[in-house]
């Protein structure tokens, strides 16, 4: 194959990114330079850069079609850290407008069982992040898991706050979740999400003034123990049972979530022991060893 290339051929190869290192003896040195120059400079006088040098990385992606979704940047804003003066309606509004973490992306509605008036409760039951049924209802602990929890509380003489069948003097339990939002795509909450919702939980505790908090599940336990009992985070949930912990000075009892108990009936007896312990704490009968 002959390597005698005229300037036009060299220019075509250069435009295709083919390196040409040989030069025909018949071709003068300035012929190669002219060929390279012609490859660099098109007829209209504009410049594309050297054809022999690596091309710069440019975005050649065509505009998105109507059926193609382009991710937009999300600006996160932290919730108000001072929730001292928030009543229940103001707290519900703050939760609904919160964008402090990625959990809010694509949510339908936050899950918060805020009473219509200032209500106190003997218990505060804190559960895992909401599922689709809870988001749809706007209430924590619904469906079969909620029915199981209601029956468990009823067995120790406690009724869900706002329940129409509750007796006037019957101890009540305010129900909440460790996160108020269910993201559009399933994702595990990170520390930022837990801490963002912790600001709302602190206000819930102040409004409810519970005598005991029941942490149902690992994430609830993780949030409530992270400040005063970080050593407990290294233990499995089963090892944290049977003890009384504290969060903001309120006693905390750890147990299994009702959704877990529906799948693992053998642990219902242990959960019953935990609720009995919580009842003793709320009634002032618990005596630490």
Model confidence pLDDT, tens digit, residues 87-131: 888 888 888 888 777 677 777 778 888 886 767 899 999 999 888
Predicted confidence (pLDDT) per residue in 5-52, tens digit: 666 666 655 655 555 554 444 444 444 444 444 444 444 444 333 333
How many domains, the chain? 2
Q: Is residue 56 part of a domain?
A: no
Verify that 153 and 32 share a domain, yes or no. no
Q: Are residues 169 and 30 in the same domain?
A: no
66 domain residue, yes or no: no
- CB atoms closer than 10 angstroms to residue 56: 6
Name the β-bridge partners of 77. Answer: 99
b/e map of 100-138 (b: 16 or more CB within 10 Å)?
bbbbbeebeebbbbbbeeeeebbbbbbbbbbbeebbebe
* Same domain (yes/no): 29, 143: no
Are 144 and 205 within one domain? Answer: yes
Q: Which of 281, 119, 104, 140 is nearest to 204 (CA)?
A: 119
For 68-118, where are the alpha helices, taking DSSP H only? 88-97
Please indicate, yes or no, if residue 115 is contained in any of the structural domains: yes
Determine if the pTM surpasses 0.95.
no
**Does residue 16 belong to any structural domain of this protein?**
yes
Name the residue range of residue 189's domain: 88-282
Within a domain: 54: no
Task: Name the band, by pLDDT with cuts 50, 70 and 90, for residue 274.
Answer: very high
With H, G, I as helix, E, B as strand and everything else as coil, classify residue 13: helix
Does 123 reside within a domain? yes
Tokens matching residue 40: 């660099």
């Amino acid at each position: 194959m002959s390597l005698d290339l005229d300037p036009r051929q060299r220019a075509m190869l250069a435009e295709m990114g083919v390196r040409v290192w040989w030069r025909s003896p018949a071709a003068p040195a300035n012929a190669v330079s002219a060929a390279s120059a012609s490859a660099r400079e098109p007829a209209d006088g504009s410049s594309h850069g050297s054809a022999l040098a690596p091309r710069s990385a440019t975005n050649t992606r065509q505009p998105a079609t109507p059926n193609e979704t382009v991710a937009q940047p999300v600006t996160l804003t932290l919730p108000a850290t001072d929730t001292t003066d928030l009543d229940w309606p103001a707290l519900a509004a703050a939760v609904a407008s919160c964008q402090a973490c990625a959990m809010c992306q694509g949510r339908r509605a936050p899950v918060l069982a805020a009473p219509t008036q200032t209500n106190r409760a003997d218990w505060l039951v804190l559960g895992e992040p909401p599922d689709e049924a809870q988001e749809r209802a706007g209430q924590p602990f619904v469906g079969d898991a909620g029915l199981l929890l209601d029956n468990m509380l009823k067995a120790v003489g406690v009724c869900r706050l706002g329940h129409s069948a509750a007796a006037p003097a019957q101890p009540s339990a305010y129900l909440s979740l460790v996160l108020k939002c269910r993201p559009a795509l399933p994702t595990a909450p990170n520390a930022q999400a837990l801490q963002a919702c912790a600001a709302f939980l602190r206000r819930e505790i102040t409004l409810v003034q519970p005598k005991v908090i029941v942490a149902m599940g690992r994430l609830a336990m993780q949030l409530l123990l992270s400040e005063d009992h970080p050593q407990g985070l290294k233990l499995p949930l089963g090892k944290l049972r049977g003890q009384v912990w504290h969060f903001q000075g309120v006693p905390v009892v750890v147990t299994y979530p009702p959704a877990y108990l529906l799948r693992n009936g053998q642990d219902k007896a242990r959960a019953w022991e935990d609720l009995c312990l919580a009842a003793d704490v709320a009634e002032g009968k618990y005596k630490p060893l």
